[in-house]
Structures are given as C-alpha cells and as structure tokens.
Structure 1
Amino acid sequence: MDYATSDPGPRRRRPLISTADNGLKIVITGGFGVGKTTMVRSVSEIRPLNTEETMSAAGEAVDDLDGIRAKTATTVAFDFGRISLDDRNILYLFGAPGQERFWFLWDRLFAGTLGAVVLVDTRRLADSWYAIDRLEHHGTPFVVACNDFGGPKHTEEQVRKALDLSPGVPLVDCDARSRNSCKAVLIALVQHLRDLSAAQEATEP
C-alpha cells in the first residue's frame, strides 16, 4: 500500500496550542505491512515523525514478505502523529513496528496507552495474533480494523473466529489511505472506551 491518502485538499498543519495539558496515547499495532504507517500519516494533523528505513535483501531472510512484495520501506522504531481534540486535550498516535524482530519494543510502547487499534490485512490474519495477545496481556482495550487491500472478503464471523476475538471487541472496516476512514476507526475506539468505562461504573458499589 502506498502512502497517498484518498482525501483531496491540503491538510492544515497546526502548532501545539499553549493551553493543551492532557495528552492521550493511542497505539496502532498489527502485523508486518498492514498499513500502520499509512494510517498515522492519513489522520495526523502534523507531518508525522517516522522511523522508516529502506528494506534490504538481508531482511528477506527474516521477514515474511508473502503478499507484500512491493513493500520497499519498513518502520524500525515507531511512527508518531497528533490530533488536537480541543484546546486542552491532544491525542498522540504511535504506530508500532510490525516485524517480529522488533516486537520487543511493544511492551514499552503499550505502557500508558489509553487504547489501541489492531490493524489487520485479511489476506494474512494470522500475522495479527501477537498484537492481540500482548494487548490482552497488558489489559489494554482495543478495536480491530480490517484494512482494505482488495483481497477476498470475509464475514465478521470468519474474522472473529480466525482471530479468536471476544464478542465485546469491536470489529470495523478501514481504508488506511483515507483520513475519514481512519477517523471513524478512532471514533469507534473512543466509543468502546466509553462503553467499558460506563460498564465498570455500573458494577462499582
């Protein structure tokens, strides 16, 4: 997937306002080549910080390139973007690296996270198992977003079964190239967090 977004028009880049005092952290994670960098670039209001490096022949021996042979660069630390929710609240987006050799970074990246998006390629659903496993280990709420690579369509039941998803985990469709689509995914995550918070309050004495 390339990095051009499907939403026309220039993006206004805003400096961080002086009244902002509440930073909320969201992590976008998933397997190798599922579109995490693209998603951060699509939705961030600033020019994202990224740590992409050109892929070399040496990486072919350790990275599974099945279905993503056209990929030429890869994230080696994390991507970073930002969305201003209002004058005081800022959403910080962190895109996690996808290759197995960088998974050791994930536990620290998940620390202090409000919630997460697990981005999946339905052609390679098994690549997302580790992200889901680590988020469940940390007790981090998440939603699953199926990125559109034009592959075979699966029913929601098929995707849930393949990923062994709890019925309470939202599953949404996504085009990581589209700002509006990515915003809808983040809104779904926020709604999920609100629902979990309301359910917890309802059970408290």
Structure 2
Amino acid sequence: MQIFFSAIIGYLLGSISFSYLIGRYKAGIDIRQHGSGNAGATNTLRVLGKKAAAIVFLADALKGVAAVFTSYLLTGSDTGMAVGGLAAIIGHNWPVFFNFRGGKGVATTIGVIVSVAFLPALFAGIVAIMLLLVTRIVSLASLVFLTFLPVTVLLSDLPAVYFWMSIVMAILSYWRHRTNIVRLLQGKENQIGR
C-alpha cells in the first residue's frame, strides 16, 4: 500500500509543469505553443532565455528528488524509491494538471537517478556533457546519458531494482525523443545557441 501511495505522490509531484508556470509568470504564454512545443528546460531556453531555463531545469530535477525522498519516508525501500521516482518522470511527461501534455523528462530523470545512484549518474553524465560541448545537441546528449546509465548502474553494486529502473528510464526517454531521433538520423536536429 505504501508503494502505491509513493507512486501517486510521485506522479502528482511530477505533474507540476514548471516550464508552463514560468512561461505564464514571465511572459504570459503557454510554453507548449512556442518553440518546439515541449514543456521542458531546453524549449524554455529557446523561448525565454538562460535564467528561466535554469530555474525550470533545477525545479524539474528537484521534483524528482522530492518524489524519491517522499517514497523513502513512506516505504524505506529501494523498490518504493524506484517506483516513486519513475512515477514522477511519468507525471512530468504526461501531467494530469496540464492535459497530459508535458516534457521529455530528462531533468526529472536526473533528479531521480542522482538521488539513488549518484556515482553511476555522474559517470554517464560526464560522457553526455562532453558530447553536448562538442555537438551542442541537447537531445543527443540526453539520449546518450540515458543509454549509458543502465551500463554504469549495472557495473555498480546497487540493488538490481535500480538497473531495471534505469532501463525503464531509457525506454521512456527514447519514446519521448522519437521525433528528435528522426531529425538526428536526417542530420536536421537543432543545436543550442544557433
């Protein structure tokens, strides 16, 4: 029962769309009707600038942290934290408060995985950041991060539930980035700063 409540709370936390709220507060717009149409930090960067994007990224990551911490308080178990964290990502991607039109879940995923598997997340993150600096393509760096993550988690001594959680994270990310993948294969994906 506690795991069920962890999932519900995680989902509701994830459903808070900070890019939408910041867009309304700062510019009176629905961020989903501008730029790429995505309710996330990268589109916020394109539409509203660096400061707003940084706030959105941090807030989205922190709701992942909050979901994991709440699940720990409720269940005290690795399975509970994994379920609560995944529910937060699902909430971000398909938020109940915003007609199920959310973002792609990368920042929230980072908040979740850093909370339960810091070193594996750090190693995968270093690879992704290096790639981002070279290519300036956020979607590619995000996909590489989520691809390497199960490997780094598997090579750690963490409970198996976190490996399976990282697999689900990767599947969710690939699904949400499917149009980006098409553009990457076509050589047409957008770069930041251009």
Higher strand share: 1
TM-score by length of 2: 0.29
Is the helix fraction higher in 1 or 2? 2
Taking structure 1 as the reference length, the TM-score comes to 0.28
- Which protein is bigger by CA-based radius of gyration? 1
